[in-house]
Structure 1
Amino acid sequence: MTKQMNSIPVELAKQVANEVIAPLAVTIDQENRFPTEAFQAFRDTGLLGLMVPKEYGGLGGELSDLVSVVEVIAESCGSTAMCYLMHSVSTYVIAANPTNEILQSYLRAIANGKKIGTLAFSETGTGAHFYNPEIKSVHKGNYLLLNGRKSFVTNGDETNFLIVLTNASKPELGLNMVVVDSQNDGVKFVGAWDGIGLRGNNSIVCELSNVKVPFTHVIGNEGAGMDLIFNVVAPAFILGSAGVNTGLARGAYQTTLDHAKTRKYASGQCLAEIPAIQYYLAEMSCKVDTASTFIHDAAQKADGGEETAMLHVMQSKLLACENVNLVTNTAMQVCGGKGYSKSLPVERYLRDSKASSIMAPTVEILKEWIGKTVAGIPLF
């Protein structure tokens, strides 16, 4: 039976998008700043706690809800959608293993609008292969000691906590995921984000110097990191990323459609009446709806624990990446000089969409994983 998605978070997201996110999207992009106003609205509406279980005061959202919400947000602003996604995935990781009162307190604080989180996975030395971190955990008494440097930490110094991926204290244990308070001694954020797109996501470097992490802050247990990556983080982030890209594609398509219907020549003919433009609009609408339908289906499979879910999850991001690039490029073609200028948001959608293919897991890695999966070959 098809799961019925919770309409409340989606309606809240539409309200916030219309009243707060869309009016500030140009400013966020131009000023290269974190979407503070949007996150205040997420607090006020309870959306900050979308992925927090209801027993801890949250909305009890599932992956289907996350996809729906980020798609709505991204249609207005890609930066805000990516910041919200990273917070929501970090929340989802804790919610998957709230094994002690400390971790449960984080969930309550998130639901109450008091904490924003993010993932700290990427490192310069490992690039897109974030699942092979160099940073190590050293066992010291009743805590772990962390030293290292994480790159491209979305939300950066706007966060209250980080989910840090490290090697465990013993090599044979594998990987750890630990919750680190951003205000802890030894945690330092460095630099500023100045990308061509997603300019408000505050994706900066985090340095960890002799940071003490109590064992109560280890998610699951020592060595659970790899399992958490592929069973919790990957489904949530890949689906969410696919949702963001589909929202960007929908925003570009809707802008293009509106422009084609209102742009008139001296003869009185509008752009949408030209057959070549109609072909472009048809292709764009099909690409957007195809990606959205596939992604939502994949999310429902993941929520239902279906055996083939992970294959569809991986396919969803690959499809979304390819479609958003096609749609935004076509939007530029249809809108012409207006699209190339900043008088329309088309150029912003195009810039924001370029991150989709290179953000881990990249399209190349996804193709490898999908190919191995369909061929029955282990990923590792």
Structure 2
Amino acid sequence: MTIENHYSPTEIAQHIAQEVIAPLAAKIDREQRFPSEAFDALGKSGLLGLLVPKEFGGLGGSLSDLSAVTQVMGQACGSTSMCFLMHSVATMVIASRAQTAQQQEYLRSIAQGEKIGTLAFSERGTGAHFYSPEITANFQGDHIVLNGKKSFVTNGDHADFLVVVTNASSPDIGLDMLLVETASPGVQFTGSWDGIGLRGNNSIAVEFTDVKVPLHHVIGKEGDGLDLIFQVVAPTFILGIAGMNVGLAKGAYHAALDHAKARKYADGRALCEIQAIQFYLAEMHGSVESASLFVQNAARAADAGEEAAILSVMQSKIQASEQAIKVTNLAMQVCGGQGYTSALPVERYLRDARAGAVMAPTTEVLKEWVGKSVADLPLF
């Protein structure tokens, strides 16, 4: 499938999900490996350039497109959706604020499926407060020398470049974001991802030892880091992860519905004819629909630049994460013993869905921010 065929991004994603992503989802989960086949297909289709402006050869997609695509992928495979999302967030940072030379170098390669990116924000000592990095960045002539370690780097050593958040040259200036090539001397990935869910997202640590980053690899102006986090990274990531969680909930609901219709008792009745099961199915359907609509509306508001969009964006992750946990638990109840085994994908959806609430910004942090915002209190 090619861009020239005039398919929408969601239609491209649906095709790849059906042909490549879904058939390999259980294998990716079982083997805990990066979804290379999916990324090959995404690169060839042009979908890795979803958020690359058309002037650089990309699809010029919106946040609405991103949340719709991550939903499609999430329904097929949570790990693939997560990997694609982090690549897309890194792409959005470059597209939004990078210098023209950086955009020419990176965005065209991304659009052609030649480069995979990701964020390197989290640190062991700062946890969800990734906007307070401990990594050191020393300015030396025309280079910045990085030393330190980042945790939970999705895509890990399959990424070609990292968007790294660091302190600027002085505390008064704030934070910087840097483009770092993973092939640079001193960059080393360590460990392996052994989470209970999203087992193919290759979220591992990266260590920087005297890594020299050219000054022209600072994204935007020095000190733009915090603004980039809240104006670009946060809405892109939140809406993408919200879409993914809606997809996980939708996948679990359809798996449970199919099982309830196919499972027959000795007297010929189907499982779905039991009233309690009908209640569960109705509750799951309503939860999936409400979360999906909430995320769609939040993304549209963000794309339109509405003043109150930020509240809807933050709430979208809260709603989608909580509904995904609820729906996958109900799906387990519907499917019973079969759902508890790998015979059905329900247990994988349940494990994958649990990640959304603890992924920064966590549900608790977002609720605090929303609460402060509606009460006209400062966030920090």
If the TM-score is normalised by the length of the shorter chain, which range does it land in?
over 0.9
Q: Is the 8 A contact 1:259 1:335 kept in 2?
A: yes
Cα separation, partners in 2 of 1:279 and 1:373, compared to 1, 3 Å? same
CA deviations on 1:22-67 (whole Å, 9 max, x unpaired) are 1000100000000000000001100010010000000001100000
- Residue 247 of structure 2 corresponds to residue 247 of structure 1: yes
Unaligned regions of 5+ residues in structure 2, if any?
A: 1-5
Q: Is the 8 A contact 2:94 2:102 kept in 1?
A: no
- Residue 374 of structure 2 corresponds to residue 364 of structure 1: no
- Residue 11 of structure 2 corresponds to residue 11 of structure 1: yes
1:101-112 equivalent positions in 2, closer than 5 A = 101-112=101-112
Q: Is the 8 A contact 2:117 2:161 kept in 1?
A: yes
1:189-200 equivalent positions in 2, closer than 5 A = 189-200=189-200
Residue 13 (structure 1) shift: 0.2
Q: Is the 8 A contact 1:50 1:88 kept in 2?
A: yes
Q: Distance in 2 between matches of 1:224 and 1:376?
A: 25
Task: Give the AA of the match of 2:106.
Answer: Y
Q: Distance in 2 between matches of 1:103 and 1:22?
A: 33
Q: Is the 8 A contact 2:302 2:309 kept in 1?
A: yes
Q: Distance in 1 between matches of 2:209 and 2:218?
A: 18
CA deviations on 1:250-272 (whole Å, 9 max, x unpaired) are 00000001111111111111011
Q: Distance in 2 between matches of 1:379 and 1:305?
A: 21
State the TM-score, normalizing by the size of structure 1.
0.98
Counterpart in the other structure of 2:84: 84
Q: Distance in 1 between matches of 2:29 and 2:16?
A: 18
Counterpart in the other structure of 2:168: 168
The percentage of aligned residue pairs carrying the same residue is 62
Counterpart in the other structure of 1:320: 320
Matched residues, number? 375
Q: Is the 8 A contact 1:53 1:59 kept in 2?
A: yes
Residue 304 (structure 1) shift: 0.8
Residue 137 (structure 1) shift: 1.7
Counterpart in the other structure of 1:342: 342
Q: Distance in 1 between matches of 2:245 and 2:7?
A: 21
Tell me, what secondary structure is at the counterpart of 1:173?
A: coil
Q: Distance in 2 between matches of 1:9 and 1:147?
A: 39
Residue 104 (structure 1) shift: 2.3
Tell me, what secondary structure is at the counterpart of 1:157?
A: helix
Counterpart in the other structure of 1:21: 21
Q: Distance in 1 between matches of 2:324 and 2:238?
A: 15
Q: Distance in 2 between matches of 1:149 and 1:169?
A: 18
Residue 97 (structure 1) shift: 1.4
Task: Give the AA of the match of 2:23.
Answer: P
Residue 7 (structure 1) shift: 6.2
Q: Distance in 2 between matches of 1:215 and 1:257?
A: 55
My pick for the range that moved more, 102-111 or 191-200, is 102-111
Unaligned regions of 5+ residues in structure 1, if any?
A: 1-5
- Residue 288 of structure 2 corresponds to residue 288 of structure 1: yes
Tell me, what secondary structure is at the counterpart of 1:329?
A: helix
- Residue 225 of structure 2 corresponds to residue 257 of structure 1: no
Q: Distance in 2 between matches of 1:100 and 1:142?
A: 19
Q: Is the 8 A contact 1:100 1:216 kept in 2?
A: no
Q: Is the 8 A contact 2:144 2:215 kept in 1?
A: yes
CA deviations on 1:85-111 (whole Å, 9 max, x unpaired) are 000000001000132313321001100
RMSD: 0.9
My pick for the range that moved more, 213-222 or 200-209, is 213-222
1:48-87 equivalent positions in 2, closer than 5 A = 48-87=48-87
Task: Give the AA of the match of 2:48.
Answer: L
Q: Is the 8 A contact 1:67 1:296 kept in 2?
A: yes
Tell me, what secondary structure is at the counterpart of 1:236?
A: helix
Tell me, what secondary structure is at the counterpart of 2:343?
A: coil
1:144-155 equivalent positions in 2, closer than 5 A = 144-155=144-155
Q: Distance in 2 between matches of 1:346 and 1:259?
A: 10
Task: Give the AA of the match of 1:96.
Answer: S
Q: Distance in 1 between matches of 2:102 and 2:94?
A: 10
Counterpart in the other structure of 2:238: 238
Counterpart in the other structure of 1:271: 271
Q: Which runs of 4+ in 1 moved over 6 A?
A: none
Residue 165 (structure 1) shift: 0.4
Counterpart in the other structure of 1:226: 226
Task: Give the AA of the match of 2:16.
Answer: V
